[in-house]
Chain A
């Protein structure tokens, strides 16, 4: 019986390890919790204007409705689509990145933001 119990515990331990935040952190070591703590996100429900698209870093700059001078707010195309959740596919956006520029969206989910170092890293990786 203990043999079975040990086996079950092993499986569960592996499951717990896989689902732990240690493995949910991105390459920089930031989990969503870190981003929340560092104010690198715009809460769901906020209205945003997509101001511009930066080709060199493949990012979008957004402005928060009612807080025009809170920023910089820079996000990735993937996160932008995740936040606005309007059914647009990432392939569509990649084909025409300017498609959402100038648009106003009400966030259905949290919009995660990049910090300066991440933006720089994206620029460098794009150059390569």
Chain B
């Protein structure tokens, strides 16, 4: 009889230990330590993705009392949608090369490149997701006093950078590199249900009513591409901005500030109440993707451009993307913006991140886009030109009037392929 009890006791202890270990370790995600550690966060997200959908819980910790959230849909634009017009190829410097392009043509419903990742990022304190997200051929190299990024080329997908942008045909960063880990992270294979972090619960929070799935929180993407109020057909209204951007990009390449630009650039059209981001092929000037882009609350509505720490205004002019690692946003959910016309956006922490669906005033100067995962997938992790276009207005960003000099914030000299020396902007990757 005693033997039976001992057996029962042993069974109890064994099963209890396994259960306790498994589920207490998952439950510990709430701790600050997990939040502070990106890799721990990621493991939490992965674990979360396998869990069932949730039901309301009893209040255990101090939480805000919130009412059930209505499934809000983005308000229809009061502005008339201009008709589509083809965008001409403008800059002779950026004419399409007669030779066949070594890159795959992006499809309307994008799928990741089949190329396998070969990220060679060293142990630099970057999160695993960043290591995988950085361009496939990117090597994070040693630098004495400043962050340094360099890219090694492989195959036909990119050249060794430098002035080959002119000499040997295009040498753009390949925004369509392999982001297997990134895809796993963002679930970019299905942009409709893409959710930052794509936890099971967050996924279930996306309304599934027909094809019009609206987000129900800041972390969700806003809409399917078809439902976006910003459309590529409207890019004909920013022809002038596209030309300016192409010319400025050529200048940046000539001056060595951007050594290997991305294939796509972003133009934020902030001329009306609704901001729209257009992703434009730098060579052809053709729009490939459009989504909403919220602007700074300090800018008002319709927005006025503005620079200066704490202004909460969206800076006018040209920027270039680079990884960001701040206290709230990091490389997993944002792209940092480096001003190229003296905007000093680095010290402000101006970013591209997931924003409100309306494209109105909602951030403190960042571009809050309607579908960040898709924008990030197309633009890559760094080296993409971003133009905040206010129809010629620059506000107090006086440097944005000067289109003859391309100089990155904090004395940065080169962005993209090659050595990259930036200042010690707060919140930016410190590569060791």
Partner-B contacts on A (CB < 8 A): 1, 4-5, 8-9, 12, 15-16, 19-34, 36-46, 63-73, 76, 78-79, 82, 90, 108-110, 113-118, 121-122, 124-125
Contact = CB atoms under 8 A, between A and B. Distances in A.
Contact of A24 (B27, B69, B217, B363): B27
B427 A66 contact: yes
Interface string B235-263: 00000000000000000000000000000
Contacts of B329: 39, 70
Interface string B200-219: 01100100000000001111
A40 B351 CA distance: 15
Given A37-B202, A67-B427, 6 more contacts: A4-B11, A20-B23, A22-B57, A34-B197, A42-B327, A125-B67
Contacts of B310: 63, 68-69
Contacts of A108: 32
Given A32-B35, A121-B65, A8 B350 contact: no
Nearest to B202: A34
A69 B36 CA distance: 21
Contact of A19 (B24, B35, B66, B216): B24
Contact of A122 (B31, B48, B66, B195): B66
B217 A115 contact: yes
Interface of B: 4, 7-8, 11-12, 15-16, 19, 23-24, 26-27, 29-33, 35-36, 41, 44-45, 48, 51-58, 60, 62-69, 72, 195-199, 201-202, 205, 216-220, 296-297, 309-312, 326-329, 333-334, 347-351, 353-354, 356, 362-366, 426-427
B54 A37 contact: no
B67 A21 contact: no
Given A37-B196, A64-B327, A115-B217, A31 B201 contact: yes
Given A45-B36, A110-B35, A116-B218, A67 B66 contact: no
Given A1-B7, A122-B66, A70 B57 contact: no
A90 to B, nearest CB: 8
A7 B23 CA distance: 19
A25 B201 contact: yes
A19 B11 contact: no
A33 B199 contact: yes
Contacts, number: 236
Contact of B296 (A25, A38, A69): A69
Nearest to B219: A38
B15 A9 contact: yes
B64 A38 contact: no
Contacts of B356: 116
Contacts of B24: 19
Contacts of A116: 218, 356, 362
B218 to A, nearest CB: 5
Nearest to B47: A33
Contact of A40 (B11, B68, B218, B297): B218
B427 A19 contact: no
Given A36-B45, A124-B67, A68 B35 contact: no
A122 B16 contact: no
Contact of B36 (A8, A16, A40, A44): A44
A65 B68 CA distance: 33
A79 B63 CA distance: 8
B298 to A, nearest CB: 8
A47 B153 CA distance: 40
A34 B219 contact: yes
Contacts of A113: 328
A71 B44 CA distance: 24
**Smallest CB-CB A-B distances: 10 pairs:** A37-B197, A38-B219, A66-B426, A78-B62, A67-B349, A46-B327, A109-B32, A110-B35, A23-B57, A22-B54
13 contacts: A16-B23, A20-B51, A28-B66, A28-B69, A38-B217, A39-B196, A67-B328, A71-B312, A72-B297, A72-B363, A78-B62, A79-B62, A117-B66
A70 B326 contact: yes
A34 to B, nearest CB: 5
Contacts of A44: 32-33, 35-36
Contact of A34 (B12, B26, B201): B201
B343 to A, nearest CB: 11
Given A40-B219, A69-B312, A117-B69, A27 B56 contact: yes
Contact of B328 (A5, A23, A64): A64
A34 B19 contact: no
